[in-house]
Amino acid sequence: MLKLLGDGHVLMHPMVVAELALGTLRDRRRTLFVLDALRQVKVAQLAEVRTLIEAHSLYAKGIGLTDAHLLASCLLTPGTQLWTRDGALRSVAQTLGVLASIP
């Protein structure tokens, strides 16, 4: 993971940073600064997320709006894969072909 970070292969979605900002972070200011400094995926517009939901029947799969946003952004950013340990998100990401192996 550190090598991937160092080589610039890790991208961030701003909604993930915002979700993390809602929690308790050690060295909060620095952590958020570092996360904000990572390259970002192409952020999907809400209409694109809604299209993805309908096109792939993603309703009632146990994922939420942030998850659907992450999936849409992965699909809009060529070569991007999603790392997650969340079971429902993992299943949908695998179905859509954007699931990465967690090292």
Per-residue model confidence (pLDDT) at position 103: 58
pLDDT of amino acid 90 = 97
Q: What residue type is 32 in one-letter code?
A: L
pLDDT (mean) for 61-89? 96
- Domain positions in the chain are 2-96
Alpha-carbon radius of gyration of the chain? 14
pLDDT tens string 19-50: 999 999 999 999 999 999 999 999 999 999 99
pTM greater than 0.95 = no
Helical H segments across the chain, by residue range: 2-6, 14-21, 28-37, 46-55, 65-76, 87-96
- For residues 56-75, give the mean pLDDT: 97
Give strand pairing partners of 82: 99
Encoding tokens for residue 19? 């979700």
Beta bridge mates, 99 = 82
